[in-house]
Chains A and B, each alone.
Chain A
Amino acid sequence: MNANSRLRRMWADKVLYVMLMPAAAFFAIFHVWPILGMRLAFYEYRILGDHVYVGFKYFKELFGTPIFSQVLANTLIISAMKMFLIFPLPILFALMLNEFVNGKFRKAVQIISYLPHFLSWVVIAGIWFEFLSKSNGIVNDVIRLFGFPAHDFLTDKAAIRWVLVASEAWRNIGWDSIIFLAAILGINKSLYEAAYVDGANRWQIVTRIILPHLYVPMVTVFILNVGFIMNAGLDQVLNFTNASVNSKVDIIDTYVYRVGLINGQYSFATAANLFKSVIGVILVLSTHFLSKKLTSKGAW
């Protein structure tokens, strides 16, 4: 396609480009332009006077910090747990919603499942603390009902990461299912009719028609999720952590918040964020190309 025909095509789609402009402006202002500010990672910032170029000083400080390996491991483990364990749930939830015949009931379930997404982690932590309370939480009430001793999940090093995964799933399953439900609802009805005529049952409809239509959104969402593997959830961890389990949930974000932002070490905090961003970009690109090679489908 030469430049002229490309321009003509763009002109024909001018309304779509106008619609794209606010989003493009948003990303340019709030996501692309700040990349220039990342240079702070290589400077000793001075409010008064010139900044001092220090090269990789803050990266060395970050990697040399006594608990860097621990916070990096926690970040990767928690992120990986969330990514692999939560990823299938919105798809299953969307499939389940699609099976409801009663449209009103389906809408009600959908709305209720979206609600937690709009709650802050402060509120969610409060709710979960009540759920899991050793003395009067509903979870321990059920455990006691079966004759087992109550368990303090929130201070148990082995359980706390599962609590993070479960609370994240509870918050986001409904919301994350929207994209998959939209894809399901977009499937041409004639495909279902043809399948029924051929004698397909519900299971075969799901496995032969619906799931293949979900491959593209699944791959896209998965690849985009990989890019966030270094973001294990600052707000969530800050609200769920306590002295007993901090070594299991202290992630790069909470560490940088504590040592960098609270103490005003902005160059150090920027270095940590740049490190996270570079890792994220590398992972997204490599996952995309790997997916292209294996399935001929990628993020773009």
Chain B
Amino acid sequence: MRKIGFPLVMAAMVATTACSTGDNKPSASTTPASADQTNQQPVTISIVAKDLPVDDPNSQKFIKGIEEGMKAEGKNVKLQIVPVQSGTYSEKLGLLLQSGNIPDLIYFQGGDYNFAITQQILEDLTPYIEKSTHVKASMTEFNKERLKNYPYLVWLAPISSKIPVVRQDLFNKAPSGKTLLSDPTIDNYYTFFKELKEKSGAKFAYTTAGDIDELDVVFGQAFGLTSTWIKGADGKYVYSKTTLAEKEKLEFYAKLYKEGLLDPEYLTKKFDTKEKAFYDGQAGVIAGTQGKVIDIYNTKSVGQNGPGANILPLPPAKGKAQGYTPVDVSKESRGFAIAKTSKNKEMAFAVLEFLASPKGQMLDKLGVEGEEYQIVNGKIKLTDKFAAWYPHFVENTVNFKPDKEFDPSTPYLSEPALKSLEMFSSMSTKDNAFIMPAELAAKWDAASAVYKEFAADMVTGKKSGADFDKFVQAWNAAGGKDITDYANKTLK
């Protein structure tokens, strides 16, 4: 009996693989809405989103606000939150969708490509946005470009790009700070970093969370790395990280590391420890996402270190070019999608349209009147409760025009946050990165790993510029050559 147990199990497993193909039909989650919405039962729209827990009072308040707001506009809708298992959102969402449970409105935070292209369960949003008023008005040029290239996600938030910031009190201790702001050359940045370390009490000038991406925000373009793919003299595209510009950049970073200007433990830093080092004054400069994140940094820094410790956004370094990290416009990296299986696609989009409307943006951004904000002397005054409220759908301020001013004591965004938005929009450029096809995903992963390891080794002094050619060979061997061939076919 014992001897045949295992073969039996294995045989059962092999047998199942030869069975007929499973037909996995998703169950309809909703019933179609009739054209006439008045005096009808509400249309149920199921929605899955990150940070929208079913039992959270703020979520419930928010959902109720959307339903009431839409009802006032003649759209009787009932929003039903679909819970997601705790853990990495993109992974758990993937498992939810793969099981055939497909909500009408889906928020993705990566991992959407498989569902849009391979599984083809996401709706092309182009016609909906064409017909829209508020969603269209809330899109930046980058959003429009991304939608053109990948029409399955819409994300009405500032481009998730980072900009460097320094604490004002530390900045004031470095005499070269003013020179840096007026003329941010690579050399002036280097001088400023040295002074930060020597005079402000910071242990190191700059820290990042595990890689050099947040350092590239400042220096990438200055070294000539103006896009992911750079056209060579022969007219062919090469991967920017295999060029001499990259080598020069890494040599500069190695100098920063060697002199203790770059955090000696940046490789093992996580986001929380990076931010803690900044608030504690160990790190002079960090990079944060423009807008709301800079706002949070400012609040926390002032809260911990007093009013003199407000945040000052810094410009990108000036060299062969000047600009923050070029913006990838191949697709939105996150955002909302509508399921092809939805019986109420129009109504699902109407939810997004409402949230992008003036009324919807007030609710999404500010919360409920009388709770998160009050109208005092005809002005919007944010309450203490506002600290726990944040926009889920429309973080953009592109089309946010409340009919009342904000009380000066409680602005919607702090001055540093507004400045970061302005600086980014005036000093950002489009990238030419493209969507990596599924068949190249493994090669891209392998080639990226080769680059990341070499960059880390070169910055930390384990390797030098003399090893750069070997790295390029290794990168090509790991799949980079095939990716470069594909790039030259894809890029115009």
Chain A residues with CB under 8 Å of chain B are 32, 35-36, 38-39, 41-43, 45-53, 61, 65-67, 129, 133-135, 152, 154-155, 242-244, 246-247, 250, 255, 258-259, 261-266, 281, 285, 300
| Of A41, A52, A61, A300, the contact of B2 (CB 8 Å cutoff) | A300
**B19 interface residue, CB < 8 Å from A?**
yes
Other contacts beyond A46-B24, A47-B24, A264-B115: 17, CB < 8 A? A38-B13, A38-B16, A47-B98, A47-B102, A48-B26, A48-B121, A65-B443, A67-B478, A154-B267, A243-B211, A243-B452, A246-B452, A261-B91, A262-B110, A264-B113, A265-B114, A265-B438
Chain A CB within 10 A, most for which of B17, B211, B264 = B17
Min CB–CB distance A245 → chain B (angstroms): 8
How far is B9's CA from A39's CA once the two chains are assembled, in angstroms?
13
**B188 interface residue, CB < 8 Å from A?**
no
B2 contact set on A, CB distance < 8 A? 300
Min CB–CB distance A186 → chain B (angstroms): 26
- Tell whether, in the assembled complex, residue B267 and residue A244 are in contact, meaning their CB atoms are under 8 Å apart: yes
**B268 interface residue, CB < 8 Å from A?**
yes
Chain B CB within 10 A, most for which of A36, A152, A155, A285 = A155
A285 contact set on B, CB distance < 8 A? 6
| Of A35, A242, A259, the contact of B441 (CB 8 Å cutoff) | A259
- Tell whether, in the assembled complex, residue B446 and residue A65 are in contact, meaning their CB atoms are under 8 Å apart: yes
- Tell whether, in the assembled complex, residue A50 and residue B98 are in contact, meaning their CB atoms are under 8 Å apart: no
A39 contact set on B, CB distance < 8 A? 13, 16-17, 19
Per-residue interface assignment for chain B, residues 9 to 32, with 1 indicating a CB less than 8 Å from any chain A CB and 0 otherwise:
100110011010111111000000
- Tell whether, in the assembled complex, residue A47 and residue B264 are in contact, meaning their CB atoms are under 8 Å apart: no
The residue of chain A having its C-beta at the shortest distance from the C-beta of B451 within the complex is A243
Min CB–CB distance B441 → chain A (angstroms): 6
Given A48-B26, A48-B119, A155-B267: A35 and B91 within 8 A (CB)? no
B110 contact set on A, CB distance < 8 A? 262
How many contacting A-B pairs (Cβ < 8 A)? 133
- Tell whether, in the assembled complex, residue A266 and residue B449 are in contact, meaning their CB atoms are under 8 Å apart: no
Given A52-B21, A155-B267, A261-B91: A242 and B111 within 8 A (CB)? no
Provide 13 A-B residue pairs closer than 8 Å at the C-beta atoms, listed in order of the A residue. Answer: A32-B9, A36-B13, A38-B17, A46-B119, A47-B97, A47-B119, A67-B449, A133-B265, A242-B210, A243-B456, A244-B460, A246-B449, A246-B453
Min CB–CB distance A222 → chain B (angstroms): 19
A51 contact set on B, CB distance < 8 A? 21-22, 24
- Tell whether, in the assembled complex, residue A263 and residue B111 are in contact, meaning their CB atoms are under 8 Å apart: yes
**B374 interface residue, CB < 8 Å from A?**
no
**B442 interface residue, CB < 8 Å from A?**
yes
How far is B113's CA from A43's CA once the two chains are assembled, in angstroms?
19
B98 contact set on A, CB distance < 8 A? 45, 47, 264, 266
A52 contact set on B, CB distance < 8 A? 21
A155 contact set on B, CB distance < 8 A? 267-268, 456, 460
Min CB–CB distance B338 → chain A (angstroms): 15
How far is B2's CA from A285's CA once the two chains are assembled, in angstroms?
13
Min CB–CB distance B85 → chain A (angstroms): 13
| Of A38, A47, A66, the contact of B443 (CB 8 Å cutoff) | A66
Given A39-B17, A46-B119, A155-B460: A61 and B453 within 8 A (CB)? no
The residue of chain A having its C-beta at the shortest distance from the C-beta of B101 within the complex is A47
How far is B120's CA from A45's CA once the two chains are assembled, in angstroms?
12
- Tell whether, in the assembled complex, residue B91 and residue A262 are in contact, meaning their CB atoms are under 8 Å apart: yes
**B457 interface residue, CB < 8 Å from A?**
yes
How many of chain B's residues touch chain A, expressed as a range? Answer: 35 or more
How far is B120's CA from A65's CA once the two chains are assembled, in angstroms?
25
How far is B448's CA from A67's CA once the two chains are assembled, in angstroms?
11
How far is B25's CA from A207's CA once the two chains are assembled, in angstroms?
64
Given A48-B120, A264-B98: A42 and B17 within 8 A (CB)? yes
**B479 interface residue, CB < 8 Å from A?**
yes
**B135 interface residue, CB < 8 Å from A?**
no
- Tell whether, in the assembled complex, residue A43 and residue B16 are in contact, meaning their CB atoms are under 8 Å apart: no
**B445 interface residue, CB < 8 Å from A?**
yes
Given A48-B26, A50-B22, A243-B456: A35 and B267 within 8 A (CB)? no
A261 contact set on B, CB distance < 8 A? 91, 94
The residue of chain A having its C-beta at the shortest distance from the C-beta of B24 within the complex is A47
**B341 interface residue, CB < 8 Å from A?**
yes
- Tell whether, in the assembled complex, residue A264 and residue B211 are in contact, meaning their CB atoms are under 8 Å apart: no
- Tell whether, in the assembled complex, residue A242 and residue B268 are in contact, meaning their CB atoms are under 8 Å apart: yes
B121 contact set on A, CB distance < 8 A? 47-48
**B170 interface residue, CB < 8 Å from A?**
no
| Of B265, B447, B449, B460, the contact of A250 (CB 8 Å cutoff) | B449
- Tell whether, in the assembled complex, residue A243 and residue B113 are in contact, meaning their CB atoms are under 8 Å apart: no
The residue of chain B having its C-beta at the shortest distance from the C-beta of A155 within the complex is B267
B16 contact set on A, CB distance < 8 A? 36, 38-39
- Tell whether, in the assembled complex, residue A47 and residue B100 are in contact, meaning their CB atoms are under 8 Å apart: yes
Min CB–CB distance A157 → chain B (angstroms): 8
B91 contact set on A, CB distance < 8 A? 261-262
How far is B120's CA from A67's CA once the two chains are assembled, in angstroms?
29
**B462 interface residue, CB < 8 Å from A?**
yes
| Of A67, A134, A246, A281, the contact of B265 (CB 8 Å cutoff) | A134
Min CB–CB distance B266 → chain A (angstroms): 9
How far is B393's CA from A288's CA once the two chains are assembled, in angstroms?
57
B118 contact set on A, CB distance < 8 A? 264
B:200-259 near A, CB below 8 Å: 203, 210-211
